[in-house]
Structure 1
Amino acid sequence: MDTQLVAFTGVAAAMVAMPGADFTVVVRNALASRRAGAACALGIAAGLLVHTALAVAGVAAVLTAVPALFRGLQLLGGAYVLYLGYGALRAAARPRQTATDADSPDGTVAVSPARALRQGFLTNALNPKASITFLSVLPQFVPASSPAMPRTLLLAAIIVGIAAVWFQAVALLVDRLGRWLRRPRTARAIEGVSGTALAALGLTLLAAPLAG
């Protein structure tokens, strides 16, 4: 048994399952519809694929070597997450009884799968810390006796696979609980909590480069 591979799988699962912007965005979209939640989860997996590809190619090292570029990407990512939080807080403040034609019958805001896919991808891809994390973690699980490229590609595939399964499971669970979660008061509360969480995450991402 490849004990290093087993250990890496555990580490990768913990990294992916850690609550954050990805988790919150999937929950928000899954509340709109199962298709939107699944599309958002797929977008996050695609974003992770970008980060792992950058780590494999060594491009992530450039972000470390050029602080201005890294800070610029941090600001861009933080601004986008903050924008998502603002949108969620606006949705929470809107009266559910006056749903428009763009809304579903139960008052939840309709989200197209394409938009959900884009949100998931951008939320993950615009986080440069993910590339740095992968660049620092992946080499720890590449044995000196193994060719680096095939092994690193395998580790990257494991991360993306775990993310695809985990976030699809989150979307499915939210959809299964949808009848209760989509009640107007419950939905507004969830939008408020998720909006506050996203706004706080966005501000944190913005504060780090500005403080530096």
Structure 2
Amino acid sequence: MDAQLVAFTGVAAGMVAMPGADFTVVVRNALVSRRAGIACALGIAGGLLLHTALAVAGVAAVLAAVPALFRTLQLLGGAYVLYLGLSTLRSTRRPGPETGAVAGAGTGSGAVTGTGPGPGVATGDGPGPGARPLRQGFVTNALNPKAPVTFLSLLPQFVPAGSPAMPRTLLLALIVVVLALVWFPVVALLVDRLGRWLRGPRALRAVSGVTGSALTVLGLVLVLEPLRG
């Protein structure tokens, strides 16, 4: 058994499961419907695939060597996460008899807008079922400039001396993607399973408030961190 591979899998699993913007966006979408949550999870995995390709192509090294570019991407990513958080918080303050209702719950026919009649309400606009949650997951992960730098700094530590670097690096990166493909859909399914309680008017307002606040705080941290530097 490859001890380094086992050790890396454990480290990568902890990194993937750590609550953050990806986790919160999946929960936010899974409250709309199972399909929305899984679509968002797949979008996150797509973002990780992009980071894998960029790391292998050497773009991660460029990000590490050019602080201004890194800070610019960090600001863009933070601004997007902040936008998601504020839109979620804004939706929880819209009164009305349908507040807390989830249109299309269980059907997966809507997309998260954050601007509908209630918190996290799904509507039928958008290019197709799951398109907007998929895009949210992808953009949230893809605009995180720390991910490719993490790939660049972490993966070489688990490449045995004297072995070809490229095949091993690709294997390690794919392990991260596979872990994400397992973890985030599981989170979406668990949230959907608890939907009968979480989608009640009061519970949905509370959960939307928590996820919106978490995204807002994460966005502010991401935005302020490069500005402090």
Range into which the TM-score falls when normalised by the shorter chain: over 0.9
| 1:2-34: CA deviation from partner (whole Å, max 9, x where unpaired) | 000000000000000000000000000000000
Q: Which residue of 2 aligns with 1:185?
A: 202
Distance 2:172 2:194 in 1: 33
* Alpha carbons 1:96, 1:184 under 8 Å: kept: no
Q: Which residue of 2 aligns with 1:65?
A: 65
In the alignment, which of 119, 141, 147 is matched to residue 158 of structure 2?
A: 141
Q: Does 1:93 align with 2:93?
A: yes
Higher helix content, 1 or 2: 1
Q: Does 1:125 align with 2:142?
A: yes
Q: Which residue of 2 aligns with 1:50?
A: 50
Q: Which residue of 1 aligns with 2:41?
A: 41
| Within-5 A mapping of 1:193-208 | 193-208=210-225
Q: Which residue of 2 aligns with 1:110?
A: 122
Letter in 1 for 2:177: V
Superposed displacement of residue 76, structure 1: 0.3
Q: Which residue of 2 aligns with 1:6?
A: 6
Superposed displacement of residue 208, structure 1: 0.8
C-alpha spacing 1:152/1:96, structure 2 compared with 1 (3 Å)? farther
Distance 1:10 1:191 in 2: 31
Q: 1 or 2 for the larger relative contact order (CA 8 Å, sep ≥6)?
A: 1
C-alpha spacing 1:114/1:210, structure 2 compared with 1 (3 Å)? same
Distance 1:105 1:173 in 2: 15
Distance 2:95 2:195 in 1: 19
The worse-fitting range, judged by mean Cα deviation, of 103-112 and 173-182 is 103-112
Distance 2:18 2:105 in 1: 33
In the alignment, which of 160, 168, 181 is matched to residue 151 of structure 1?
A: 168
* Alpha carbons 2:29, 2:133 under 8 Å: kept: yes
* Aligned-partner SS, 2:97: helix
Letter in 2 for 1:136: S
Distance 2:13 2:97 in 1: 40
Show structure 1 runs of 5+ residues with no match.
none
Letter in 2 for 1:81: V
Show structure 2 runs of 5+ residues with no match.
107-117, 124-128
Distance 2:216 2:171 in 1: 35
CA RMSD after TM alignment:
1.9
C-alpha spacing 1:105/1:45, structure 2 compared with 1 (3 Å)? closer
Superposed displacement of residue 91, structure 1: 1.7
Report % sequence identity.
74
After TM superposition, the score normalised by the length of structure 2 is 0.88
Q: Which residue of 1 aligns with 2:24?
A: 24
| 1:106-148: CA deviation from partner (whole Å, max 9, x where unpaired) | 9650164100000000000000011111110000001112111
